[in-house]
Chain A
C-alpha cells in the first residue's frame, strides 16, 4: 500500500473513532483523554495536553495530559489579549520555538512560557475555537519520526482539534442545561412548598370562622392524603388530594358565622344557606390555576352521595369525581370523631357502625376500604408515623379492640366489592 494511502486510512480511522468518542458524553474527562490519545496517535506525536480556557477565568484548566513531565500541570494564564490573538491566528496553529511573525501579545505570551514549553518538549499550540470563542488550547510535542509538522499534518491536527473543541463545548452546554434544570426543579419544589403552606394557612383561616371545628380542614387534608396514598396515587396526586382536603370548606367563608356556629340543629332555611358552601367553594377555587387537578370539583362535590341524595347536583356513583369521594369520607370521619356544637364525638365502635351503614349509599366502598386499611396499618404498628393518633388523640383508639372491628368491616367491604364486580 502507498504510504500516503495508508496515512489517509489511518487518519480517517482516527477521525471516525474521535467522532464516536465525542458523541459519547458519559464521562467527560475520559472523552477528552481518549480524544487526546487519538490525536497523538494519528501522527505519532509523543506528548500533548488539552487545556480549557474558561471565559470567566484567566487561567487554563487542564483536562488531559499525556507524556509530559511528572508534576507538570499545564496550568498557565491566558489573558484576554492573548485569547484574542489565538482567535486571530490565521494558520490555526502556533509553532512555539520559531521566530514566525505573531501578534505582539502572542509573542510576549510565548516568551513568558518558552522555558516551560522547552522543558516539556512542546512544539505546537493549537487553539480550539468553537462558535468564535476560544474553548481551549491543545499543546503538542514533536512527532516520533523527528520530522517537523508539515501543512498536511497541521490540517489533520486542526480538523481533530475542532472536533475535540466541539465535544468540550457540547459537554459544557449540557452541564449548563443540567444545572439550570436542577435549579428549576429546586424552585418548583420550593414553590410547591410555599403553595402548600399558603393553602394550609388559608385552611386555618377558614376554620377560625367555626369555633367548634378548628383544625377541621387541616385534618380533612391529612385524611385525604392518607387515603390517596393508600389507593396508590402518584406522589404529586397525593399532594393534590391534601390540598383538596384543606380547601374543601372554603365556601363556608360566604356562609354567615351564626349559622356555622349555631349550638343547635339548624333549621331548613339555615341548612339551605349552609348547603351553598360547596358551590361557593367551587366559585372561589375555579379561577385559580392550581398545580393539581380537580381541586374546585372536590370542593363542589364533597357532599354528593353514591345514591344521588347528596347536594348540590344530586350526582350518583360514577358521576362523582374520585377526589370528591375521598374528601367526603375524610370530611365525614372528622365530623364523626370531633365534638360538634350539638353532639359529642362518637366512639370508634359507632364510627365503624356508621361507615358500614353508609357505605354504598353515601360513601364509595373502595374509598372506605382504603381508609380502613390505612388506619389498620397504623393500629397494627406497620407504619412508623402515627398520623391518626395525632389527629384523634391518644385515648381515642385502642388497637386491641378496634383492629378487629376494622378487619371485620374490611372483610365485609371486600365481599360487597367482589359481588358488585361479579354482578357487572
Chain B
C-alpha cells in the first residue's frame, strides 16, 4: 500500500495525465480503472477546466473503470453539481453493469445520461433525449 507521501508524489506525477478531448462543445474525459479520491479529484479538475473553457456537455467515459468507491460517488456528484450550475449536460459512457446498478441505487442516474459508449454519448448529445435519460441501457 502507498504511504500518504508516496500517494501524493504519485498524484503529482500523474496529475496532468487525465485523458480528455473535445468534440465541438462536448468534452470527453476518461475515468481511470479505480475511481477514488486521487483519480476523482484529477477528473474533477479536468471537468472544471473544460467547463471553464466553454464546454456545454461533459462525457465521462468509464470504459477503463472497474470500481467506484464512496469518495468517487461524492466527487461525481460534485461534478454533476458544477455542470448543472453551468447549464451543461453530463453523460456517463461505457459504465459496467455493477457500477450502473450502484449509480441507479444511489440516484445518480436521475441527474446524468448513461450511454453505451463514447460514440453513442456524442451522437446522443447531438439529439438530446426527451423521454428517457438513458441511451442504450
Interface residues of A (CB under 8 A from B): 1, 3, 6-7, 10, 13-14, 17, 24, 26-27, 34, 36-47, 66-67, 143-147
Contacts of B105 in A (CB 8 A): 3, 6-7, 10
Asked whether A13 and B98 contact (CB < 8 A) given A37-B75, A43-B106, A44-B77, the answer is: no
Is chain B's binding surface mostly helix, strand, loop or mixed? helix
Judge whether B137 is part of the interface by a CB distance below 8 angstroms: no
- Picked from A14, A27, A46, A67, the residue with its CB within 8 Å of the CB of B70 is A14
Interface string of B88-117 (1 = CB under 8 A from A): 000000000010011001111011000000
Complex Cα distance, B69 from A17, in Å, reads: 9
Q: Contact between B101 and A3 (Cβ–Cβ < 8 Å)?
A: yes
Asked whether A41 and B72 contact (CB < 8 A) given A24-B4, A144-B106, A147-B107, the answer is: yes
Judge whether B134 is part of the interface by a CB distance below 8 angstroms: no
Q: Contact between B102 and A38 (Cβ–Cβ < 8 Å)?
A: no
With CB as the reference atom, state the residue of chain B lying closest to A34.
B37
Q: Contact between B101 and A6 (Cβ–Cβ < 8 Å)?
A: yes
Judge whether B74 is part of the interface by a CB distance below 8 angstroms: yes
Complex Cα distance, B105 from A144, in Å, reads: 10
Judge whether B33 is part of the interface by a CB distance below 8 angstroms: no
**Contacts A1-B101, A7-B105, A38-B71 supplied; 5 other A-B pairs, CB < 8 Å:** A6-B105, A40-B77, A41-B69, A42-B70, A44-B77
Contacts of A26 in B (CB 8 A): 4
Q: How far is the CB of B97 from chain A (nearest CB, A)?
A: 10
Complex Cα distance, B44 from A144, in Å, reads: 18
Question: What are some 23 contacts across the A-B interface (CB < 8 A)?
Answer: A10-B105, A14-B69, A14-B70, A17-B70, A17-B71, A27-B4, A34-B37, A38-B70, A38-B74, A40-B70, A40-B77, A41-B75, A42-B70, A43-B106, A44-B73, A44-B107, A66-B78, A143-B107, A144-B107, A144-B111, A145-B106, A145-B107, A146-B107
Q: Contact between A37 and B71 (Cβ–Cβ < 8 Å)?
A: yes
